[in-house]
Structure 1
Amino acid sequence: MQANFRPQYATMTLPNLSPDISNENISQDLLIQAAASLQRQPDIPSLLSALAAFFPPLSPCHSIEMHLPGHGIWRYDRQNGQSHFGDYADITPGNGHVVSLTAVIQGKLYFIHDHGSRFTAWEHHFLDAISQLADGVLTQLLRQQALRHQRDHFRILVDVTNSVLSHLEMDALVAEVAKEIHRFFGIHYISMALRNRGKQPDFDVYASYYAPGEAARHEQKKLPLKGSAVEQTLNDNQPMLLNLSGDTGAPEFLCGELKDKSLSAVCLLPLAFNHKPIGVLILAHERDAPFQGDNLPLLRQIAARIGIAVDNADAYGQITRLKDSLKHENIWLNAQIQNNGNLSDILCQSEAMRTVLEQVEMVAASDSTVLILGETGTGKELIARAIHKLSPRGKGPMIKMNCAAVPSGLLESDLFGHDKGAFTGATTAHAGRFEMAEGGSLFLDEIGDMPLELQPKLLRVLQEREIERLGSNTVIPVDVRLIAATNRDLKQMAADREFRSDLYYRLNVFPILIPPLRERPEDIPLLAKFFTQKIARRMNRTIDSIPSAALRQLSQYPWPGNVRELENVIERAVILTRGSTLNIQLHELQSAAPVAEPEIVAEKKSHELPPPETDDEERQRIIQALRETNGIVAGPRGAAVKLGLKRTTLLSRMQRLGISVREL
């Protein structure tokens, strides 16, 4: 597109010329003045104005035209003193003086006189001389103009390249491409038709329309374009210019849409990378001027860079989808590996743990929500896996999630999933843990650390059995059994408004309290031997004995970290062992009597309650307490505390009276 120039007029004092003057000194002076004046002119209109200034007012010269192939036609009218750019066809033989500008691509300079007038021989001679000066100045101007155009083109290419290559998401890339092309070329409609990998006849079309005085409108659609000009451009790898008012090869989706916007000129540019067709860049404007001259080669170079950016964005999208897929597959495989266990993985010989296992067997057959309570390290996840394995859902997946390990900002997305575009960086749709656990069980560890703002959504899932992905209004039904675990007092947290009470009651359908290791010391030797064999086998060691003194001290230690702490102590001992006898550093364990606060409380309460008069009364009282505690015997919420008895005392009376938790 040609710029609009405002003429600059040369001001100089000329001698009063007349047609009969032939003094060579005057001609030489005029040429010197002309050379100095012409060399100062910055553009073509100013050059024409300076040429006209050498004609006296009575000269027959009417106007001056400069015909430059590839640059257009310029005309200067002496009557109004203005320069114009356009197409003039009033040049006829005999009404002017013509000079060929051989140095400037065979252009021509026309000095047109008034009708009925003629240039004198001296004037013809003078026009030839001054035209030679103008030819040299014009050559310099055009070279400078070409350098400016080249510099501007390089600048545009650099700006566009830096903009598009900095975006790896396809949506952001398309928006940036449209913004840059509109900014540099003023084109109103910019779209990209990209080949769909899944369905060859289809294209993913990303369109942007910049209506004058309005904000940009972006649209994305999928259209079949087989046999259209878009596919022809893609296959031929050559640009195509269309006029919607006459051409019929334009894509059908463009014809009506662009005509409604009064956009008739269409330019189709292929997008390719390493000679591999990717898509087509579609540009539309009211006129074809933006696609003429030097603009078309520049747009082709821009399209080549866009092709590189599109290929990068496509590769990034594939890598992102692959990472998400591998992440989900890894979670599922880990879940399947962990699901291979059953009750045989739980080693115990204490009555407290046997009671827990009885509860596990009872609740596994149902589909109720289970809340596993216990201190950290007691094996809550192991109990959850046993419930899942023994349930009718045992063949389905068991997906686990630690609510305390996931940042609160990502917890909702990880749990319920999100749709593409739900937030910055959500380039693909993501299935949450509920969807991954379909037909199986979802284990939520550390449920007490779930943020308050997320708890109502979890409550709705438990009640309605359906979820909504983040950024979506679509309801997705789910068939999942929830198993939750925590080492915190949820009831007290609900009273302190740190946990929703309605969610607590919904989770507390069947609570299972795992006793701490200090309350089941008879399990410690069995666990110590099991961990010793497992860890020694993993380290290629042979350890076949544990000193009895070490086992006694292990049984007396309070184990604030429970089974997990015991396993870590055994692992360290295996590392330090050099023979076949386990080398436990007893001095590193702080000898302390087992913490037995619940037992002490039970002993105190046992003096406050009168003994039962008969076995039947005692049996009914124990059965009632067990029903009120959902079959829990030990622990602060167990039947033993409720009855004011020691745990061992209650278990022995239950055995004597023939009471079984399984039969309740």
Structure 2
Amino acid sequence: MSSTAMSDLGQQGLLDITRSLLQQRDLSGVCEALTQLIKQAGLAERVAILLWQPGNQRVSYHASATCAPGKSGEEILLAQGPLHRLLTRPDALNCDYQEFCAAWPTLTNNPLYPEFGRYVLLPLAQEGRIVGGCEFIRDNDAAWSEKEFQRLQTLTQLVAIVTEQFLTRLSRSADRQQLRLERDNFRILVDITNAVLSRLNIDELVSEVAKALHDHFHIDAISVVLRSPQPGKLDVYTSHYLDGEAPLHDVAELDERGSLSEQIFKQQQMMLLTLANLNQLPQGDRQLFSLWGNELQSLCLLPLMSGSTTLGVLKLAQRNEQVFTASNLRLLRQIAGRVSIAVDNALAYREIQRLKERLADENKVLTEQLNTLDNDFGEIIGRSDAMLTVLRQVEMVAQSDSTVLILGETGTGKELIARAIHHLSHRREQRMIKMNCAAMPAGLLESDLFGHSRGAFTGASAPRVGRFELADKSSLFLDEVGDMPLELQPKLLRVLQDQEFERLGCNKLIRTDVRLIAATNRDLRQMVEDRAFRSDLYYRLNVFPVQLPPLRERPEDIPLLAKAFTHKIARRLGRQIDSIPAHTLRTLSEMPWPGNVRELENVIERAVLLTQGNVLQFSLPEMLYRPTAQPGNQGELPQEGEDETQQIIRILKETNGVVAGPKGAAQRLGLKRTTLLSRMKRLGIDKDVLV
């Protein structure tokens, strides 16, 4: 626009100037157009727009790039300059350079204000309030005439209109940008919430969290850190995005002590690290970077909270540290809140599943025990010296946690003694867990004892809790321990020594507090000699041996047992039997009972079934029946005129007093070692005297 046109501003001229200013991209462009205009009109050489920022008490300075290159922006110094005076006294400020320097010495020699001739600052008003000022500067010191001053005021009014339009446009743009950001963040939160809240398996949950964070933020390594059931340990689930979209999943166990996660658990605050040296990290956290060739540069740790409790830590590692901007960190905190809810649900589900599995296994064990347990046989019956000795031993050992080895022939009541030891111990509040080593196939015995994880072997579709885990804080009764496979014995020994074990298919140690009670009808000492049983396990089991006498060695207990069995069985069968003939009791007491108490009970049950009236009746031929000895097990026949005592003495002399073993007296007589020793005791034979 020409100076002539500028000298005679009409309505059309004002519209043209306003349109020209509004076409500029920003306020610096407005100042550039104004500068050309005022130079053409000879009004001034420089122009600038100063806007007051009440929120931060600063002044935003806008000028032509040719007049103040690189100086547009917020200036703290200008907040105490001419504009501050204009805000307090909204009149035009008109002065020369000397007056300017005297009023604002801090601006002297400032690049924004090189030496000039004349200065004027006119207020920019919007809706009746001062929002800034428009300053004009002349290089010469000639004062503006009244007409020139009016033109400057007119231009300032146009600048106020244009500035308001620009600020409104910027505000709307910022609002739109903020709305877009909030919309995008909301979509991310919804996506992650939908992805993780339906996951109840920890591994699947961590994979979904990692995928969502990588998709939205391109984070390279994502970990979820949870406290392990083992004290002092952390379970770290990590997904590394090394190759495009195919992540590498890893599960590790680390020490909590000294780790960054330990600090998060304690402080419950986010931690952001920019790593210049990996040696600054604890050893456990340094492992995260091993797959990346030490490329990762920044690490962000966010607490996963449930109320005031820290459930775990969300650990994010990134090669580009710019991902952890202030806005992204705000969003990541919100994401951590959603992940916390999902982790809380997954942990609760895992605990429910563990309790369900434990309950199912306990029910299975209880069913097995109920099917084999004689619930009515609640007391040990016996007043013989041999049984009183056993009961005193039970009372002595029950209150300790020592391992007990119960020895005795089949049917002598070893399980009954084991239950008595448990019920007299401080563990009696917990149910005793029982397992028969001879009744379980060798291939499944280890799984039944120590449990297994899912997929440990073919058919292991679900994890299983073993007997040792079920017996925690209680007693475990291992019946027929002599039949345990040789290859499984070292693992049993380890549990007894260290009180810890591993499930099949899992390398996590499980600690347990179990009191072991073992029983066997076999000669473990001989098995050790024959290398059929480990000597170290034998010595560990044989801490406190309890030898149960066979029934034939305590005949005075047989009438008591017969009466008790008769009463119990008759009640169960709905029969009324009031008495047992004296001669029947004498006959029972004189029998050898190779099957011991179990055989006696079976004979009594058979007699109850055959009894017609109220007096117990026996079929003596049925009662005295013994199976024919198998070939090879019959033993040597006595010589002519030789009774049982003489035969035993002769064979003992011939074997030099050796009772057990393939060439011992018991083998030649076709008897068990314990049976021969019982007969020798009954007949008063001392082998040491004979040799």
TM-score range, shorter chain: 0.3 to 0.5
TM-score by length of structure 2 reads 0.43
- Kindly name which structure, 1 or 2, has the bigger radius of gyration based on alpha carbons: 2
Which of 1 and 2 has higher RCO (CA within 8 Å, sep 6+)?
Answer: 1
TM-score normalized by the length of structure 1: 0.45
